Amino acid sequence: MARATLQKKPGEVASMFDGIAERYDLVNDVISVGQDRRWRRLVRDAVAAMPGERVLDLAAGTGTSSEPFELDGAVVVPSDISIGMLSVGKRRRPDLPFVAGDATALPFADGSFDAVTISFGLRNVEDTSAALREMLRVVRPGGRVVVCEFSTPTWKPFRVVYQEYLMRALPVVAGAVTRDKGSYDYLAESIRSWHDQAALGALLLEAGWGQVAYRNLSGGIVALHRAVKPAAGAMEPA
């Protein structure tokens, strides 16, 4: 099966996810040894949606990352570039309003959401900053963003072990479940070459987000970045 390269061309990324869509959720549980469920709970807490709020879950894939926000009574809109992932989601949850779209050119009006979130998706987008600016555009002033993404373990001995595990075991295990080792070679490579916590925080600020903060999950295997869209005319303190 064709895997994407680190150039992250949208067509290549979309067809790679089309190829793994059927087994995507199962593999997540296997390779994260169930941690993905805990991470999703913490994303829900960070978004802290109020009943009736509109939440955009970007790069939502099959919609598994969208479901926690329903528990808070939010109206969640899952959006993704891969028709294969969206089709699996639609079959599983025909009631969710899945929307096809590219994170760098979203088919939504300015200020149409109270919050936007993206879990394990931003790393796959060709132009990170363009996606962060687009997320800012579709959120109302005062609205928030939560980015959940693989990051850099903070404790060096653990980081070394983790990167060994990633580079060797992850594609082998996931490849055995999906019969598509290449896509999981891409996963390991894309994690290793991704921004660390501070660098992603800087990109959020640069894109125009305010009150940028992050917390590490599982020792920094994952980081949750949060930020707020400044009210019109408001300036961030220098």
Residue with smaller CB distance to ligand SAM, 144 or 210: 144
Q: What is the 3-state secondary structure (H, E, C) of the chain?
A: CCCCCCCCCHHHHHHHHHHHHHHHHHHHHHHCCCHHHHHHHHHHHHHCCCCCCEEEEECCCCCCCCHHHHCCCCEEEEEECCHHHHHHHHHHCCCCCCEECECCECCCCCCCEEEEEEECCHHHCCCHHHHHHHHHHHEEEEEEEEEEEECCCCCHHHHHHHHHHHHHHHHHHHHHHHCCHHHHHHHHHHHHCCCCHHHHHHHHHHHCCEEEEEEEEHHHCEEEEEEECCCCCCCCCC
CB of 58 to ligand SAM, least distance (A): 6
CB of 211 to ligand SAM, least distance (A): 23
Q: Does 183 bind ligand SAM (CB under 6 A)?
A: no
Distance from first CA to last CA of the chain, Å, rounded?
48
Residue with smaller CB distance to ligand SAM, 5 or 211: 5
Query: CB–CB of 126/153 below 8 Å?
Result: no
Q: Does 102 bind ligand SAM (CB under 6 A)?
A: yes
Q: Which of 44-52, 60-68, 174-182, 188-196 is the region at the interface with ligand SAM (rule: CB under 6 A)?
A: 60-68
Q: Does 59 bind ligand SAM (CB under 6 A)?
A: yes
Q: Does 121 bind ligand SAM (CB under 6 A)?
A: yes
Q: Does 46 bind ligand SAM (CB under 6 A)?
A: no
CB of 61 to ligand SAM, least distance (A): 3
The residue within the footprint of ligand SAM, chosen from 56, 76, 103, 207 (CB under 6 A), is 103
Q: How many residues bind ligand SAM (CB under 6 A)?
A: 21
CB of 51 to ligand SAM, least distance (A): 23
Here the tokens at position 201 are 């925080």
Residues 12 to 31 in contact with ligand SAM, rule: CB under 6 A: 13-14, 17
Q: Does 166 bind ligand SAM (CB under 6 A)?
A: no
The residue within the footprint of ligand SAM, chosen from 27, 46, 64, 98 (CB under 6 A), is 64
The residue within the footprint of ligand SAM, chosen from 80, 114, 134, 149 (CB under 6 A), is 80
- Radius of gyration of the chain from Cα atoms? 17
Contacts with ligand SAM, residue ranges (CB under 6 A): 10, 13-14, 17, 59-61, 64-65, 80-82, 85, 102-104, 119-121, 124-125
